[in-house]
Amino acid sequence: MKLEDYDLNLLVTLHKLLTERNVTRAARQLGLSQPAVSAALAKLRASFGDELLVRVGRQLELTPFGQQLLDPLEQVLFGMEELLSLKSQFNPQQEQRTFRIAARDYLAYLLLPPLTLALRRCAPDVVSAFSPLDAGSLQQLGEGRLDFILLPEGYQHQFPSEPLLEDRWVCAVDAAHPSVTDELSEAQYLTLEHLIFMPGPGKRIAARPNVSRTDLHRKAAASIESLALLPLMLKGTELIALIPERMGRSVADLAGIRLLEPPHRLPPIRQTICWNPRRSNDPSHSWMREMILDTAREVSGS
């Protein structure tokens, strides 16, 4: 097949089909109708002489050849995007782009408002789209479905990264807690009932913090998957929880909570920003990375 005889737009459709493995979702992301994407899939199957996607039960799965196509296809599309992004001078005011960022919800709470304000001032048509961080985020970053991941330091991956933000764990209780004073001993900490941050199945990407060697003996009364919502669940209870200090201070009055020092010093919370190395030479991508880093410095007061 000659290149000039081939509709290169089909490569974009093919990538969405291979990554989403769902015609409806691919159509939604491409802004096309489902029949149009189904027709494109039929053309792709004829062009490659392979089914590419086959139905297994109620789901579509990649054929071996479809799986083989995925990596070189992503390299081609990344190369095309970099080629199209080459400009004599990058101008944020003229940029029209959505950057997809996976992060813990508490980081989205801290960063999204000031980042949005900063973007409105210098790049009004640039959008930051935050989504939950989970165990599949690294794969999505490699596939080009995410632009950035805000990831706890120490998590093993193959992507370039930079330090983003540092925080620390503190204990939080209802401001009117009847038995907790301004100091918290380890014995009292272990006696109290705990509300614990616990990611759901398939979502865990970092271990929960330990307050001491005897932490396994604490009384877990309840758990919640959202770290950002956790402090809002303490009011009117006698529960205690570990939360990041920056978030705790920003919601203390709203949530009606009081912050206390843990009975032992805990390892700091260090977050990094990660990106696909294929994006490193993209001017707008590099600019957005600096915008996120600058926002984190503003939040940190550094």
- Count of C-beta atoms within a 10 Å radius of residue 124: 13
Query: For residue 246, is it left (φ>0), alpha (ψ between -120 and 50) or beta?
Result: alpha
pLDDT in tens, 57-97: 888 888 888 888 888 887 777 777 766 665 546 788 888 88
pLDDT in tens, 111-139: 999 999 999 999 999 999 999 998 889 88
Q: Rounded to a whole number, what is the distance in angstroms from the first to the last CA of the chain?
A: 57
What tokens were used for 127? 């959008």
Domain count, the chain: 3
Cα 302 to Cα 294: distance, rounded to the nearest angstrom:
9
Q: Which CATH number covers residue 245?
A: 3.40.190.10
pLDDT in tens, 226-277: 899 999 999 999 999 999 999 999 999 999 999 999 988 888 999 999 999 8
The residue range of the domain holding 146 is 92-166+270-300
Q: Which CATH number covers residue 68?
A: 1.10.10.10
